[in-house]
């Protein structure tokens, strides 16, 4: 998944670290990195991270449903996971879809790309910053699908 700029090249990568203030549950810091200041609005970035944090909290919630899943799985010697998807895996699929959506709608038009944290061991949210290489007159905000520059 790359921005549709023909001349875009990778300039930098920012890594959003984990927030351990509430324990070992998966949560990312909402602190706005300085490298993104000129590229994206703070509120959009914070919304993305907060939504991701909510998804992870939902996946790791310890409550009635997780107990039921745990006890049922234990009773079947965990063989049930051969045919059933765990709740965490279901939420991970939702997260992947959400990230793809955010990339398409918000981040790619601004020359940014979010990598799903699961591909980085759930340690960081990697945001790649792309720069327009060459000045063919196209502004950084537009996304040109075709290869030819506008005349």
Helix (H) or strand (E) holding 127: strand 125-132
CB nearer to another protein: pick between 4 and 11: 11
Tokens of 65: 């449903």
Two structure tokens written together for 128: 């790649």
**Residues in a beta bridge with 15:** 126
CB of 14 to another protein, least distance (A): 8
Residue 65 CB, nearest approach to another protein (Å): 9
The torsion defined by the Cα of 141, 142, 143 and 144, in degrees rounded to 10, comes to: -150
Tokens of residue 39, six digits: 């590229």
Least distance to another protein, CB of residue 40, Å = 19
Nearer to another protein, 66 or 140 (CB): 66
Q: Which is nearer to another protein, 2 or 120 (CB)?
A: 120
With CA atoms as reference, report the closest residue to 128 among 8, 21, 7: 8
Decide whether 119 or 150 has the Cβ nearer to another protein.
119
User: Footprint of another protein on this chain (CB under 8 A)?
Assistant: 13-15, 18, 20-24, 59-62, 66-67, 69-71, 73-74, 77-79, 81, 86-89, 92, 118-124, 126
């Amino acid at each position: 998944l790359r921005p549709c700029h023909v001349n875009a090249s990778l300039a930098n990568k920012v890594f959003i670290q984990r927030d351990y203030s509430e324990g070992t549950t998966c949560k990312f810091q909402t602190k706005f990195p300085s490298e993104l200041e000129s590229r994206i609005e703070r509120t959009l970035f914070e919304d993305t991270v907060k939504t991701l944090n909510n998804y992870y909290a939902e996946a790791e919630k310890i409550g009635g449903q997780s107990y039921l899943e745990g006890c049922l799985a234990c009773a079947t010697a965990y063989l049930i996971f051969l045919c059933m998807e765990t709740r965490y895996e279901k939420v991970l699929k939702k997260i992947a879809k959400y990230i793809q959506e955010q990339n398409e709608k918000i981040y790619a038009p601004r020359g940014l790309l979010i990598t799903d944290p699961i591909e980085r061991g759930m340690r960081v949210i990697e945001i790649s910053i792309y720069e327009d290489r060459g000045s063919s007159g196209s502004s950084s905000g537009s996304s040109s699908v075709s290869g030819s520059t506008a005349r």
